[in-house]
Structure 1
Amino acid sequence: MPPTDHPAGERANRPVDDAEDTLELPLRIQDGVLAQQWAPEAPDAPAHPDDAAPGELLDDPERWGPTTTSRGALRLVPVRVGRDAALISRWMNDPAVAAFWHLAGPESVTADHLRAQLDGDGRSVPCLGVLDDVPVGYFELYRADLDPLARHYPARPHDTGIHLLIGGVADRGRGIGSTLLRAVADLVLDRRPHCTRVVAEPDLRNAPSVAAFLSGGFRFAAEVDLPDKRVALMVRDRVLRTVL
């Protein structure tokens, strides 16, 4: 489920694939490696110089709160570069992820991608998907109607786009991606009253990603030619979400 390649000034996003910088010390096993568990800052923690407040164009995902899924409680936690770049960079360097996100390399590559969004006007917000206090994936929520994608499909005002990658290899192929996609799409529709649909544009070559969107309550709307690839336009409609 990776994002489309667009100049950073237009959109610092890429599509999604289903596929620790640390502040506390509890340990867990992830991908066969003993890793320190991620934890968010305390509310009064000092700001990191790279951190920026999310914009209002997406109705402030930081305030949306958790949602319940069959896998546990899911929260969207807006990314903080100083805290999260190392973790996200590690995920981006997985070959299965890098093939679609094109962000492999040193941590600075991922950090620059995150900063391009955080330094923008808020039309794209990078988030960690945190399931029962463990980060399991990386989301990008973006205003699709304000994105270059809108030139290639009949966009509606407040259309909200979504990109997702599942970070841990052990979490892929188990339905977690579909569960998270459905939960986050419904969270968008619940928290953004002017948004009537959530859209996504996975690469048609990324069959697991397309399948995850279909299983996550999205419908296939069209094949769309973008400047760098052919994508499946996936849509989760507010009026159809109770039947899909």
Structure 2
Amino acid sequence: MPSPEPTVTESGDRGDDDTLDLELPPELLATAPGTGTAPAEGSRSASEPASEPASRPVTAPGELIGAVDRWPPVDGPFGTFQLVPVRPERDLPLLGAWMNDPDVAAYWGLAGDPDATARHLRAQLEGDGRSVPCLGVLDGTPMSYWELYRADLDPLARHFPTRPHDTGIRLLIGPAEYRGRGLGAALLRAVAELVLGRRPACRRVLAEPDVRNAASVAAFLRAGFRLAAEVDLPDKRAALVVRERPGHRAP
């Protein structure tokens, strides 16, 4: 019998002390208003309410990841899958319902009032583009939620040695009927390949599923990731899984 597929890979509940001030890469600092040398705005936690930034973002939303809205659909044995950037006015009711599924809430911590999910999204959408929230749409039906983020500019970099342009993935599969079918691993593989194909500077795709979420960890391993470490993050103990671009595996 196949192993159950992942519910989530990452908790959305992070404390205030998990905010990391990291500078943007030099090639992007040149686009900053004014002198062109100002450091990037520090990232805020995914679930922290958005506040007035200390300075204007130096890049357009999504630029640090790329134009995800122009990434092509992926065809596979699972059907046709596409990442569609979230629009809260359209997607918040659906995402709020998924976050209130007990299997999802156990890891994301966003159950209850839809305002919690709205704040979680706003912090990304009003940021500098280092994290892009997306719906996963399969054969025209939204069925999963994804966050693509710059792991080297994320608080994760405090706990694991990231490299420039490392790209992280967080995932939850929403409707229960899509779980336990081998679909999670297939989509993780497809999205990792999509990231590596559309982001030439990226050499590794990372994820940080909760070690308690054995089904999620197993799905990443079936998708071609390897277990690199277990790390203690502020909100959980995580299995740090990595998928390298072919030919770029670290010793």
For the criterion TM > 0.5, the same-fold answer is yes
CA shift digits 1:29-49 (9 cap, x unpaired): xxxxxxxxxxxxxxxxxxxxx
The amino acid of 2:225's aligned partner reads F
CA contact (8 A) 1:178 1:213 kept: yes
Partner of 1:55: 62
Question: Which of 173, 180, 185 is the matching residue for 1:178?
Answer: 185
Q: Secondary structure at the match of 1:98?
A: helix
Alignment-derived partner of residue 46 in structure 2 = 12
Give the match for residue 130 of structure 1: 137
Identify the match of residue 11 of structure 2 among 3, 11, 15: 3
1:3–1:201 CA contact under 8 A, matched in 2: no
1:88 equivalenced with 2:101 (yes/no): no
* Aligned positions of 1:1-244 closer than 5 A: 1-3=9-11, 5-6=13-14, 7=16, 9-12=43-46, 54-239=61-246
Deviation (angstroms), 1:231: 0.7
Deviations 1:180-231, CA, capped at 9 Å, x for gaps: 1111111000000000010000010111111111111111111111122211
Q: Deviation of residue 13 (structure 1)?
A: 6.5
Offset of 1:240 from its aligned partner?
6.2
Post-superposition CA distance 1:45-81 (Å, at most 9, x none): xxxxxxxx74200012111111122111111000000
Amino acid at match of 1:84: D
Q: Any unmatched runs of 5+ in structure 2?
A: 1-8, 20-42, 49-59
Change (3 A) 1:109 1:184: same
**Partner SS state of residue 209, structure 2:** coil
Query: Which deviations, in whole Å up to 9, do the C-alpha atoms of 1:133-185 show, x marking residues without a partner?
Result: 11110000000000010111111100000000001111111111111111111
Query: How far does the alpha carbon of each residue in 1:5-36 deviate from its partner, in whole angstroms, 9 at most, with x for none?
Result: 3348523179xxxxxxxxxxxxxxxxxxxxxx
Deviation sequence 1:61-102 (CA, Å, 0-9, x none): 111111122111111000000000000110000000000000
Q: Would the aligned equivalents of 1:160 and 1:198 in 2 still touch at CA under 8 Å?
A: yes
2:64 maps to amino acid: L
Distance in 1, matches of 2:146 and 2:195, equals 12
Q: 2:12 touches 2:109 (CA, 8 Å); kept in 1? A: no
Please tell me the residue identity of whatever aligns with 1:150: A
Q: 1:13 to 1:219 in 2, by over 3 A?
A: farther
| Residues 148 and 168 in structure 2, CA contact (< 8 A), matched pair in contact too | yes
**What is the identity, as a one-letter code, of the residue corresponding to 1:211?**
A
Normalising by the residue count of structure 1, what TM-score does the alignment of the two structures yield? 0.79
Alpha-carbon distance in 2 for matches of 1:98, 1:69: 30
Distance 1:215 1:144, change over 3 A: same
Give percent identity, aligned residues only. Answer: 64
Residue identity opposite 1:12 in structure 2: A
Contact 2:12–2:110, Cα closer than 8 Å, also in 1 = no
2: CA distance between counterparts of 1:170 and 1:109?
A: 25
Partner SS state of residue 235, structure 1: strand
Which deviations, in whole Å up to 9, do the C-alpha atoms of 1:96-139 show, x marking residues without a partner? Answer: 00000000012221111111110000000000001111111000
Gaps of 5+ in 1: 15-52
SS of 1:74's equivalent in the other structure is strand
